[in-house]
């Protein structure tokens, strides 16, 4: 990779596939922290390349007898790196004008310059000969909250962290899909969740103007074939209700489901049940379009259509699901089955 024979994406992909084919799917560090191989390999490759470039810079500076360095700068730097990016430092720490390089930037540590996932580097600086690469105003501009999303302003770093979280959720859904598919289990909910997460990322990128990084969404084993199968299953096992909300068609109701999602199944006693889930994936209510032959629900609505609210105790155990009439909003949202 350092020779330019192939790109860093190719290097990462080769390493991930090799590890996956040998049965390795995650890495546990001495600290106890656990990462998937996609995350661990990407970090190792990019960090390794950056550290190699840094060592070459130091060797070059030794040859030139250069003590001062200027760090690079970019928008979206993590806060702990933003404080020293684009500034001048002394490698020896003997300068009265500029602070010590290693102490100030953390160079040589995992959390510092050229450490884990760091995109910064540094270059020789000869005072009186070089012109500073960044002005003070440019460095301040890098920290502006210039990205808007859902009515709130973010710095580029904050927005990038939202994007990274969305990418992690997409990878998680892909791994869940592969596991369920390999076990011969129903993958419809996972396929729908994956589609929702992809759409959420697409909407986020459209609103913020940030670029998609498809490489960060990849999972070993989830290639074109799996992607096509998941898309086909999503189309065949989903629909939208009268208000345009996504509904996942399932064969069996479950008290745990897609977070903030809705599932639908045909009731064994007739009619259709729609199950609503909260942010934590717990069922919060069920809407049925008839009474299922139960006298207790027959007086609700024209056809016995009704709702069940799910009640939990402090420990999260279901304690009841009382029935009631549908509200006006619930009727309007489910007109397609009423």
CA atoms within a 13 Å half-sphere pointing along the CA-CB vector of 183 = 9
Q: What is the mean pLDDT of residues 191-204?
A: 93
Q: What is the mean pLDDT of the chain?
A: 89
Res. 88 pLDDT band, cuts 50 70 90: very high
pLDDT at 68: 97
Res. 134 pLDDT band, cuts 50 70 90: very high
Res. 203 pLDDT band, cuts 50 70 90: very high
Would you say residue 222 has pLDDT above 70?
yes
Lowest-confidence region among 79-83, 86-90, 250-254, 286-290: 250-254
pLDDT at 283: 96
Would you say residue 205 has pLDDT above 80?
yes
Share of the chain above pLDDT 90, in %: 61
pLDDT at 200: 94
Would you say residue 293 has pLDDT above 90?
no
pLDDT at 69: 97
Would you say residue 6 has pLDDT above 60?
no
Q: What is the mean pLDDT of residues 195-207?
A: 94
Q: What is the mean pLDDT of residues 324-334?
A: 94
Res. 138 pLDDT band, cuts 50 70 90: very high
pLDDT at 48: 87
Res. 298 pLDDT band, cuts 50 70 90: confident
pLDDT at 34: 79
Higher pLDDT: 16 or 318? It is 318
pLDDT at 198: 93
Domains of the chain by residue range: 8-142, 144-229, 241-338
Res. 19 pLDDT band, cuts 50 70 90: low
Q: What is the mean pLDDT of residues 140-147?
A: 93
Q: pTM, whole model, 2 decimals?
A: 0.72
pLDDT at 37: 76
Lowest-confidence region among 20-24, 172-176, 252-256: 20-24
Predicted confidence (pLDDT) per residue in 22-78, tens digit: 666 777 778 787 777 787 777 888 888 889 999 999 999 999 999 999 999 999 999
Q: What is the mean pLDDT of residues 252-270?
A: 89
């Amino acid at each position: 990779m350092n020779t330019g024979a192939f790109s860093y994406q190719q290097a990462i992909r080769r390493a991930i596939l090799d590890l996956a084919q040998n049965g390795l799917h995650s890495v546990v560090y001495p600290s106890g922290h656990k990462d998937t191989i996609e995350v661990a390999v990407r970090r190792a490759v990019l960090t390794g390349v950056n550290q190699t470039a840094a060592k070459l810079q130091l060797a070059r500076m030794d040859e030139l007898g250069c003590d001062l360095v200027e760090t690079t700068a970019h928008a979206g730097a993590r806060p702990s790196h933003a404080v020293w990016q684009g500034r001048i430092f002394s490698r020896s720490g003997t300068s009265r004008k500029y602070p010590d390089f290693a102490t100030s930037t953390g160079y040589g540590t995992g959390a510092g310059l050229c450490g884990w996932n760091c995109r910064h580097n540094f270059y020789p600086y000869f005072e009186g000969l070089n012109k500073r690469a960044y002005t003070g105003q440019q460095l301040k501009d890098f920290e502006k909250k210039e990205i808007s999303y859902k009515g709130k302003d973010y710095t580029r770093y904050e927005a990038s962290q939202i994007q990274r979280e969305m990418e992690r959720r997409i990878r998680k859904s892909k791994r869940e899909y592969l596991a369920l598919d390999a076990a011969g289990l129903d993958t419809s909910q996972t396929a729908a969740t994956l589609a929702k997460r992809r759409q959420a990322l697409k909407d986020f990128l459209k609103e913020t103007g940030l670029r998609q990084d498809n490489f960060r969404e990849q999972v070993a084993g989830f290639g074109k074939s799996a992607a096509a199968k998941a898309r086909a299953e999503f189309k065949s096992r989903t629909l939208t209700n009268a208000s345009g909300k996504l509904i996942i068609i399932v064969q069996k109701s479950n008290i745990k489901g897609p977070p903030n999602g809705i599932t639908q199944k045909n009731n064994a006693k007739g009619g259709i049940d729609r199950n609503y889930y909260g942010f934590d994936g717990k069922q919060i209510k069920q809407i049925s379009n008839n009474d299922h032959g139960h006298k207790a629900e027959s007086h609700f609505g024209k056809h016995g259509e009704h709702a069940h609210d799910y009640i939990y105790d402090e420990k999260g155990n279901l304690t009841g699901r009382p029935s009631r009439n549908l509200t006006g909003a619930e009727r309007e949202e489910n007109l397609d089955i009423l």
